[in-house]
């Protein structure tokens, strides 16, 4: 499924300005798939980075950490 999502995102962002896509994960399986997604979107306008730390994620995205709080 991650391959389909990655390829779909590549196609839908083709010709668009660059965009950052941060994935915040702590589970090793999720991190693995997130890194696969990052690899599959290389060469596209999508700049995917995988983070384990919420503060680092906020800094990279240049947003307040409060924007990254999980909603229930």
Per-residue pLDDT tens listing for the chain (72 residues): 889 999 999 989 999 999 999 999 999 999 999 999 999 999 999 999 999 999 999 999 999 999 988 776
The boundaries of the domain holding residue 40 are: 2-68
Q: Residues 54, 27, 22, 36: what is their CA dihedral angle, to the nearest 10 degrees?
A: 160
Please compute Rg for the chain using Cα positions: 13
pTM here is: 0.85
3-state secondary structure of 22: strand
Fill in the DSSP letter of residue 3. Answer: H
**How many domains would you assign to the chain?**
1
Write down the pLDDT at residue 45: 96
Yes or no: say if 51 and 22 are a contact pair by the CB < 8 Å rule.
yes
């Amino acid at each position: 499924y991650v391959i389909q999502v990655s390829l779909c995102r590549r196609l839908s962002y083709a010709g668009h300005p660059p965009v950052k896509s941060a994935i915040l994960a702590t589970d090793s399986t999720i991190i693995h798939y997130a890194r696969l997604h990052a690899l599959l979107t290389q060469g596209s306008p999508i700049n995917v980075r995988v983070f384990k730390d919420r503060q680092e994620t906020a800094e990279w995205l240049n947003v307040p950490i409060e924007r990254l709080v999980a909603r229930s």
